[in-house]
Structure 1
């Protein structure tokens, strides 16, 4: 083994050790500051926990006010709970005030959690429960671990809790996703899982909020587009920014208030026409922007994505008006070759078509056949090859979708 290799290994280990030390110090500071706030709220470590819960009617009202959050979060909560390899745990969703909206988990642990009111209708802000992962994550707006005796109230020392905040497209706090369990079941990866799940909820919230808007995907590497690590800008059709996800804020820097006054022209020096022309060929567009460290500029890969249903409405004016799934509700996965195939070549450059603006939407639609193919391909890709789901997303019957695929020779009749 060479001396150089050993030195590099030692340097890497030293850097990792230093990073862990800094993280531990930051964690200790977070807990200390939270304990100080808990004391300032007038709480005493030995006091009994506040067991007050909202009435059923009041809880339903709070859940109704947070209906979109609940809709986006519940499937993710179920998926997250399935990933927890141990029993004696639960997944909790709270709103921005710390009120628990939903909880699911191991029945025996849910019963234990009831003793400290870790259940729907209870409020877990620091002012109510002292240092705890939900309340402290709300205060710091950062992923938070509170383990065992780090809880301010001694009655909660049996818990280990990992919580991550959830933000909307404007950077406003929506709520918190929390994984709580018996402290003996602690796993160091739980906080990362909770953070990833919170990011997934944000991604689904963003996609639902801007499902009718063009979206600009961003990543430092072209291969990162389409992953949870991509930044996304929701755009008006003139290129102005309507919203941005949290990863996009990380990539571009600045605050949401500033970015909402920006456009693709001011951010990247590009026009919507140029982005549309690149999207026509299904190719990311690399651009350089100033680095926040004011060193070398950073490269971002951009890709414009148009709403599938709007694209299809350009090609098929009746699309989106259907009420059923056509000739059946079964699902048929499509071969991966179609999910990854390029769109049919345009008869004329889309940039030229876009230059002649005349439609009420502000942009001239691309050629009809290409538009329809793009819409169908994107919908099927988003649905993972499930044709029934793709048809619902497109607003057409499944029989209509099958017919269009057969017309293009992509499905062969059985028999």
Structure 2
């Protein structure tokens, strides 16, 4: 929920009234009021940041390895816009769905250096009301103004958090803290947060689909190739890698050999015809290489981009496996 600007003096008054007198002003946002009550009932101190629960280093390393897809993507995204964070004194956190901090980007999070924050748990039961706590409960973006934070020493900055979903399940929470909000409009904070969240969510969804397709392709008893013009192999599955290692000096991790170089009769195969826009289906094909001659049942389908062939997909099964 992206909210309109509020008077921080009034918000501070509402906060003080609740902390001192236990009275909830009706103008307090209902989600904030709910979280204040939970924080109070849990006995969470409101003056200063309490001692945080932190994962042991080994567990944090294991957790980061498990979430390396998200971390790698966000690392790259942050590198492209880090000057923006430094210019406007913004702090950025990536948390898992249990509110453990996977990584602290940019400035220290409320005067805590990266080493103090990374691996720490910032759940409602740990630090009381925060944008993180509200997003964890309500599963929607939320902008929390400084005076609404439960911990008084954290009220100098406004915070915006947003959930990151994968397959309908909460996977991560992104949190952005603006220390000097007057230099950056709330709309800009919200736009930045929602843009980063959408980009990360879209990437994770794409990667999950690719991983599933990779598992399927590795399980089928066919060699599958995606070839670019000229015979360059852009992709191949596990059986295709095995076949390539048998016809060229190729090891896993190396650049794939160019089939126009290693297949001696390349121009007389369905691969070459595929780049001319001619598909082939279940054709018996002889592949002549310097090491060995193979006979396969091969299907080749051209891939078009802007009405021109930009690549082909080849599916091949050794005849001896039939």
Find runs of 4+ consecutive structure 1 residues off by over 6 angstroms: 115-118, 313-318, 372-376
Structure 2 residue ranges without an equivalent (≥5): 6-25, 218-222, 242-249, 258-273, 283-297, 314-322
Q: Does the aligned pair in 2 maintain the 1:49–1:116 contact within 8 Å? A: no
| Residue pairs, 1:257-268, within 5 angstroms | none
1:200, CA displacement in angstroms? 0.8
1:172 corresponding residue in structure 2: 169
Q: Does the aligned pair in 2 maintain the 1:312–1:375 contact within 8 Å? A: no
1:114 aligns with 2:107: no
Q: Which has the larger radius of gyration?
A: 2
Could you list the per-position Cα deviations for residues 271-325 of structure 1 after superposition, in whole angstroms to 9, with x for gaps in the alignment?
Answer: xxxxxxxxxxxxxxxxxxxxxxxxxxxxxxxxxxxxxx96627998975236534
1:124, CA displacement in angstroms? 0.8
1:209 corresponding residue in structure 2: 208
CA distance in structure 1 between the partners assigned to 2:150 and 2:232 by the alignment: 61
CA distance in structure 2 between the partners assigned to 1:190 and 1:89 by the alignment: 9
Match of 2:302 among 337, 346, 370: 370
1:42 corresponding residue in structure 2: 43
TM-score (norm 2): 0.58
CA distance in structure 1 between the partners assigned to 2:308 and 2:111 by the alignment: 47
CA distance in structure 1 between the partners assigned to 2:114 and 2:151 by the alignment: 10
C-alpha RMSD over aligned residues: 4.5
Structure 2 SS opposite 1:211: helix
CA distance in structure 2 between the partners assigned to 1:191 and 1:96 by the alignment: 21
Query: Structure 1 49/310 Cα, relative in aligned 2: closer, same or farther at 3 Å?
Result: farther
Q: Does the aligned pair in 1 maintain the 2:275–2:309 contact within 8 Å? A: no
CA distance in structure 1 between the partners assigned to 2:126 and 2:161 by the alignment: 17
1:182 corresponding residue in structure 2: 179
Structure 1 window deviating more from structure 2 (370-379 vs 59-68): it is 370-379
1:59 corresponding residue in structure 2: 60
CA distance in structure 1 between the partners assigned to 2:199 and 2:224 by the alignment: 24
Could you list the per-position Cα deviations for residues 9-46 of structure 1 after superposition, in whole angstroms to 9, with x for gaps in the alignment?
Answer: xxxxxxxxxx969xxx9992222222222223222423
Structure 2 SS opposite 1:210: helix
1:156, CA displacement in angstroms? 0.9
Q: Does the aligned pair in 2 maintain the 1:143–1:165 contact within 8 Å? A: yes
1:128, CA displacement in angstroms? 0.6
Query: Structure 1 61/78 Cα, relative in aligned 2: closer, same or farther at 3 Å?
Result: same
1:324 corresponding residue in structure 2: 254
1:177, CA displacement in angstroms? 1.1
TM-score (norm 1): 0.47
Query: Structure 1 41/78 Cα, relative in aligned 2: closer, same or farther at 3 Å?
Result: farther
Query: Structure 1 52/200 Cα, relative in aligned 2: closer, same or farther at 3 Å?
Result: same
Structure 1 SS opposite 2:44: coil
2:287 corresponding residue in structure 1: none
Query: Structure 1 312/65 Cα, relative in aligned 2: closer, same or farther at 3 Å?
Result: closer
1:402 corresponding residue in structure 2: none
Could you list the per-position Cα deviations for residues 97-153 of structure 1 after superposition, in whole angstroms to 9, with x for gaps in the alignment?
Answer: 1111111213xxx27531799720111111111111222211111111122111011
CA distance in structure 1 between the partners assigned to 2:311 and 2:131 by the alignment: 39
1:64, CA displacement in angstroms? 2.4
2:133 corresponding residue in structure 1: 135
1:161 corresponding residue in structure 2: 159
The answer to which structure, 1 or 2, has the higher relative contact order (CA under 8 A, 6+ apart) is 2
1:91 corresponding residue in structure 2: 92
CA distance in structure 2 between the partners assigned to 1:20 and 1:182 by the alignment: 18
CA distance in structure 2 between the partners assigned to 1:345 and 1:165 by the alignment: 47
Query: Structure 1 132/80 Cα, relative in aligned 2: closer, same or farther at 3 Å?
Result: farther
Q: Does the aligned pair in 1 maintain the 2:88–2:184 contact within 8 Å? A: no
Query: Structure 1 369/114 Cα, relative in aligned 2: closer, same or farther at 3 Å?
Result: same
CA distance in structure 2 between the partners assigned to 1:28 and 1:135 by the alignment: 14
Could you list the per-position Cα deviations for residues 176-225 of structure 1 after superposition, in whole angstroms to 9, with x for gaps in the alignment?
Answer: 111113144553121221121111111111111112668xxxxxxxxxxx
Structure 1 residue ranges without an equivalent (≥5): 1-18, 215-235, 238-308, 328-342, 357-365, 380-393, 395-415
2:285 corresponding residue in structure 1: none
Q: Does the aligned pair in 2 maintain the 1:91–1:179 contact within 8 Å? A: yes
1:100 corresponding residue in structure 2: 101
CA distance in structure 2 between the partners assigned to 1:376 and 1:211 by the alignment: 23
